[in-house]
Homo-oligomer: A and B are copies of this chain.
């Protein structure tokens, strides 16, 4: 019996999560385990009604679970940033989910916008750091002069900035990013470990030629870590350059490890080359704590309640969730179910099919049943 927390969230979130649960339940039945789902009412509706994003109580409750199955957040009635920071990033940080694992893999039968690329050309993993960098969210807007204290608290460390800022600009904004040796080290080590069971190649992403302080430290830690894995190839790329190679030569990559913000950018690009956001899952992982699995796309408010959203990214995230729970065989079967649905063209409109959100989930659940 596995206990999993569920946050459907906003927009299409609840629908795609329902579809995912149906598939995971079927996998449980097939492989002899039960999943007990516990839903949490978290998202825009609650925020608009009560002003609450994530309460202490929510966090204390969620902490009891090994995994969270997360739909999507984001709503047109709420200013950009409120829900993202107050819910999604807050969860990633609170549970110290320092690895954001995003497979970039083109499944058979999927269309890519790239010319002449086949599934075997697009199969790598991005390991995105998930707690630091410019995602710490500290900064300010000022006119004239301002004194301010900004603080970042993490499980590993904390840092306090006493700031005394003066400008003759009409209005000025600043933003501070932070990278720590510990923070870089653990995610880079994870990437090298992961490469051991793959093709033993790790590519680092940075912009150390311009943002030399934070990415200089990142580079140093990357080199020190690489030295501990003598049989593994390692290389650096600048973030601008890697966007080119994703499009031109995706077959070069095996494991890509990246600071948080660049990871955000390149995994959306990665999602597109593997066939679109409808197919891109992610895991926010703390190997010793509560991890969270989600499609990397957003809540697409305009499709809410229409039963038309593509649930495959969510179902794939469910497969990652099962693997995380130790149910490797079930996880593999779910992915095979996704491949079967694509092969048989039981897919939603965005993929050229006519199936509904629930229809895809039901079909894959049955396929697992009969498999």
Contacts and interface: CB of A to CB of B under 8 A. Distances in A.
A137 interface: yes
A94 interface: no
A166 B159 CA distance: 6
A165 B158 CA distance: 11
A170 B184 CA distance: 11
The CB with the most chain B CB atoms within 10 A, among A134, A180, A211, A261, is that of A211
Contacts of A167: 157-160, 180
Contact of A173 (B137, B175, B213, B272): B213
Contacts of A266: 243
Nearest to A266: B243
Contact of A169 (B157, B207, B268): B157
A194 interface: no
- Interface size classification for chain A: 35 or more
A213 B175 contact: yes
A244 B216 contact: no
B273 A84 contact: no
Contacts of A207: 261, 264
Interface in A21-48: none
Interface in A153-186: 156-183
A41 to B, nearest CB: 22
A277 interface: yes
B174 A213 contact: yes
A240 interface: yes
Given A157-B167, A161-B165, A182-B169, A84 B176 contact: no
Contacts of A211: 134, 137, 139, 175, 261
Chain A's interface: helix, strand, loop or mixed, by majority? mixed
Interface stretch (A10-18, A51-59, A110-118, A361-369): A110-118
Contact of A265 (B116, B169, B239): B239
A64 to B, nearest CB: 28
Interface in A126-167: 134-135, 137, 139-141, 156-167
A267 B85 CA distance: 28
A340 interface: no
B248 A213 contact: no
A231 interface: no
Contacts of A159: 165-167, 169, 172, 174
A212 interface: yes
Contacts of A248: 113, 272, 276
20 contacts: A80-B208, A81-B208, A84-B210, A113-B247, A134-B211, A141-B216, A157-B168, A158-B169, A159-B169, A159-B172, A159-B174, A160-B167, A161-B163, A161-B174, A162-B166, A169-B180, A172-B181, A173-B179, A175-B213, A241-B268
Interface of A: 80-81, 84-85, 89, 112-116, 134-135, 137, 139-141, 156-183, 207-218, 239-241, 243-244, 247-248, 261-262, 264-269, 271-273, 276-277
Given A114-B247, A162-B163, 16 more contacts: A85-B209, A114-B115, A115-B116, A134-B210, A139-B211, A141-B217, A159-B174, A160-B167, A161-B164, A171-B217, A174-B179, A175-B215, A176-B177, A239-B264, A243-B269, A244-B277
Q: Which 10 A-B pairs have the closest CB atoms?
A: A139-B213, A162-B164, A157-B169, A240-B268, A159-B167, A173-B217, A171-B181, A243-B269, A244-B272, A115-B115
